[in-house]
């Protein structure tokens, strides 16, 4: 059985995905432009596809099915979500606290205007938006869902089915001998 480094590869690719996400999260503190969100999404899909192609090329000699592809992408995104959540926790509480408060006060204001939530519920949400554990957990769950959703399509594109009739050296020699016999009989 071939030994694979599932979590090592997932963590390595997850760090890259998280660093890219951190750059776009930081840009999000300064601008809320739709083009930034679109570039972020396109880069996310391209990176995830590229990492999956690398994984399949490295470990897919005997096939790398749809389920394995999807599982690997969710693993990558769990690692990326953990790192991104840790960054958002630091950004919300220390690095960009004022900008984070401004963004979240707008969101809380929208929820307040709906009239569906009590003041206690809104206060609880405001505390959760700063809690490091909730930010990390929420980022991991959100990243896993995003990776799983896009992974449904990427896995269908990047999977590799096993060869139904694997070529072996013995079969090559027997075909060559049969061709030689056919030439001699002709």
Cα–Cα distance between 72 and 98 in angstroms, integer? 37
pLDDT of residue 186: 53
Handedness of CA 84, 70, 75, 6 (dihedral sign): negative
CB 6 within 8 Å of CB 72: yes
pLDDT of residue 142: 95
Contacts of 137 (CB under 8 A, 6+ apart): 85
Report the 3 state secondary structure along 104-135.
Answer: HHHHHHHHHHHCCCCHHHHHHHHHHCCCHHHH
Cα–Cα distance between 139 and 154 in angstroms, integer? 21
Look at the pTM and tell me if it is higher than 0.75: yes
pLDDT of residue 19: 96
pLDDT of residue 1: 40
Q: From first to last of its 186 residues, what are the pLDDT tens digits of the chain?
A: 455 688 899 999 999 999 999 999 899 888 888 899 999 999 999 999 999 999 999 887 788 889 999 999 999 999 999 999 999 999 888 888 888 888 888 888 888 888 888 888 888 888 888 889 999 999 999 999 999 999 999 999 888 877 777 666 555 544 554 455 555 555
């Amino acid at each position: 059985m071939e030994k694979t480094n599932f979590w090592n590869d997932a963590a390595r690719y997850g760090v890259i995905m998280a660093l890219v996400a951190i750059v776009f999260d930081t840009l999000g503190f300064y601008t809320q432009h739709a083009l930034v969100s679109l570039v972020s999404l396109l880069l996310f899909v391209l990176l995830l596809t590229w990492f999956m192609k690398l994984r399949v090329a490295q470990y897919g000699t005997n096939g790398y099915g749809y389920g394995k592809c999807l599982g690997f992408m969710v693993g990558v995104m769990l690692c990326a979500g953990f790192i991104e959540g840790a960054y958002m926790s630091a950004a919300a509480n220390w690095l960009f606290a004022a900008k984070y408060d401004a963004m979240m006060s707008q969101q809380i204001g929208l929820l307040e205007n709906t009239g569906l939530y009590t003041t206690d519920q809104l206060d609880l949400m405001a505390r959760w938006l700063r809690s490091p554990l909730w930010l990390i957990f929420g980022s991991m769950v959100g990243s896993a869902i995003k990776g799983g959703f896009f992974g449904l399509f990427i896995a269908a594109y990047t999977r590799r089915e096993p060869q139904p009739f694997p070529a072996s050296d013995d079969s090559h020699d027997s075909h060559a001998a049969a061709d030689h016999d056919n030439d001699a009989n002709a």
